[in-house]
């Protein structure tokens, strides 16, 4: 009998780290079950037309992340943009009712509170949603009931870091149903074959260009580089990442493009993986700043919940100098596999220590590379198997 699996992910067009994570999860599920059919449920999120000729396909996912998927397809549903709470819950219920047709439902939607109605249900938690906070008593009671149903409907919460796991437990008290499963980055075989030669004087930052939520703070990093440009003679700052056609995101990038004129700062938008890999091979230092100037205890959702691009950079021998927030301290061991910072001054000081001491930087490269192996695809598969076996 065919095992039917539904994966909810309306963010497919971004083809970011989350989609890579999801893609390898689908790959493992294809191998785990003898006979399986996986549907990735997408809808017109942010007014994206899912029926457009250029909408993302499974073939795009396979090419972008070098994956072989043979039993996975897209399931498209039209949802009207909700203009009221009633319409929001109508859309929510429609998705939940679809999940009831499946043997396994995997909610891969960021901060979602869709109730899983499949035989077994997993929430792949990038960061937990908050509980309903209605003030009026009837709505407040309804919110408490919905929160309870959501919490009880999942057999497992696969959290992507200890940071996320802490907040999942703090908000929802899901205890033993929590399972930390770090996202997959590279296969051990790929890491074994990786070689890098002479690097260039490049500081690199990689992340999707978008506003709101846990945005990557590219604008702030550009400001930091410009304010300190005279300290980096002969150095370039490159920023790479996906860009949607969402109006606010386009305006955000336009602001950055106007700002960098006359400086050795370069944007690489929607760059193919081959070009991104070229940047990783060339760069000496990696910057990451998600959560900069944000209050992590009040707004933990604005932090980097794990940090796939940080691990990617490390696997190419690029030394990370990243913000000391969110999941970054789980990846980077201070002074051993990179550096953590809390302020602009500290970021610049630790970066200059590497810029002005190339022998020192090279001595850290191997340790940085070795640390990246902790986040291999094989390790991800092993932890995922524990979850599926437990079901």
Q: Cα separation of 82 and 150, whole Å?
A: 20
- The CATH H-level superfamily of 188-375 is Glycogen Phosphorylase B; (3.40.50.2000)
Whether 330 and 310 have beta carbons less than 8 Å apart is answered as no
pLDDT (tens digit, 9 = 90+) per residue, 221-234? 999 999 999 999 99
Q: Cα separation of 378 and 373, whole Å?
A: 10
pLDDT at 71: 97
**Ranges in the chain, pLDDT < 70:** none
Q: Cα separation of 106 and 121, whole Å?
A: 6
| Closest by Cα among 256, 159, 265 to 210 | 256
pLDDT at 296: 83
Q: Report domain 3-183+377-390's class.
A: alpha beta
Domain residue ranges in the chain? 3-183+377-390, 188-375
pLDDT (tens digit, 9 = 90+) per residue, 294-313? 988 888 888 888 888 999 99
Our CA dihedral for 312, 315, 320, 323, rounded to 10 degrees, sits at 40
Residue length of the chain: 391
Distance (Å) of CA 378 to CA 62, 182, 263, 325, 382: 18, 11, 41, 26, 6
pLDDT at 383: 96
pLDDT at 92: 95
| 3-183+377-390 against 188-375: fold identical | yes
């Amino acid at each position: 009998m065919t095992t039917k699996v539904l994966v909810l992910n309306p963010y497919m067009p971004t083809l970011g780290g989350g989609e890579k994570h999801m893609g390898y999860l689908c790959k493992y599920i294809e191998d785990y079950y003898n006979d399986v059919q996986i549907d990735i449920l997408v809808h017109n999120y942010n007014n994206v037309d899912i029926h457009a000729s250029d909408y993302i396909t499974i073939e795009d996912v396979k090419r972008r992340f070098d994956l072989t998927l043979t039993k996975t397809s897209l399931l498209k549903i039209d949802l009207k943009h909700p203009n009221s709470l009633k319409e929001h819950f109508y859309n929510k219920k429609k998705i939940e009712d679809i999940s009831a047709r499946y043997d396994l439902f995997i909610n891969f939607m960021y901060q979602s509170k869709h109730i899983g109605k499949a035989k077994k249900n997993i929430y792949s938690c990038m960061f937990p949603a908050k509980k309903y906070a209605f003030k009026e008593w009837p709505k407040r009671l309804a919110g408490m009931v919905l929160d309870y149903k959501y919490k009880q409907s999942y057999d497992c919460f696969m959290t992507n870091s200890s940071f996320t796991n802490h907040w999942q437990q703090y908000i929802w008290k899901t205890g033993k149903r929590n399972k930390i499963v770090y996202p997959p980055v590279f296969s051990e075989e790929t890491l074994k074959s990786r070689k890098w030669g002479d690097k260039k004087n490049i500081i690199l930052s990689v992340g999707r260009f978008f506003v709101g939520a846990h945005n990557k703070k590219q604008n702030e990093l550009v400001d930091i580089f410009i304010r300190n440009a005279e300290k980096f003679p002969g150095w370039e700052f490159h920023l790479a990442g996906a860009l949607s056609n969402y109006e606010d995101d386009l305006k955000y990038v336009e602001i950055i493009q106007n700002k960098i004129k006359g400086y050795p700062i370069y944007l690489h938008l929607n760059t193919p993986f081959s070009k991104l890999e070229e940047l990783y091979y060339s760069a000496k230092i990696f910057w990451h700043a998600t959560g900069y100037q944000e209050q992590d205890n009040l707004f933990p959702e604005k932090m980097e919940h794990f940090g796939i691009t940080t691990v990617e950079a490390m696997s190419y021998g690029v030394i990370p100098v990243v913000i000391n927030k969110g999941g970054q301290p789980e990846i980077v061991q201070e002074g051993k596999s990179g550096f953590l910072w809390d302020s602009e001054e500290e970021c610049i000081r630790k970066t200059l220590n590497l810029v002005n001491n190339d022998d020192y930087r090279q001595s850290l490269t191997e340790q940085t590379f070795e640390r990246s192996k902790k986040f291999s695809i094989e390790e991800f598969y092993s932890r995922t198997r524990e979850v599926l076996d437990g079901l």
